[in-house]
Amino acid sequence: LTYTWQADGLESVVKWTLSPSASGTLLRMEQTGFNPEKQKLAYFGARSGWPRFFDQLEQLLSQVD
């Protein structure tokens, strides 16, 4: 799944991929299109926001059989 994310003057691309792994399925997310020198606030917002999202997703998925 790939889509464009637009916020605060930033247009980036978010890509999600699922791959089989020995223990189940590997979820990978990649967000590209940042210029860290010109978009520091957006860049650091994503760097801090995505880990929180994945922590919550992991907690949710741990409750599923």
Give the total number of structural domains in the chain.
1
Q: Give the domain extent around 31.
A: 2-61
The Cα–Cα gap between 61 and 15 comes to 20
Return the ∠ at Cα 6 (arms to 42 and 31), rounded to 5°.
65
Q: pLDDT for 2-49, tens place per residue?
A: 999 887 778 899 999 999 999 899 999 999 998 877 888 888 888 899
Entry pTM: 0.78
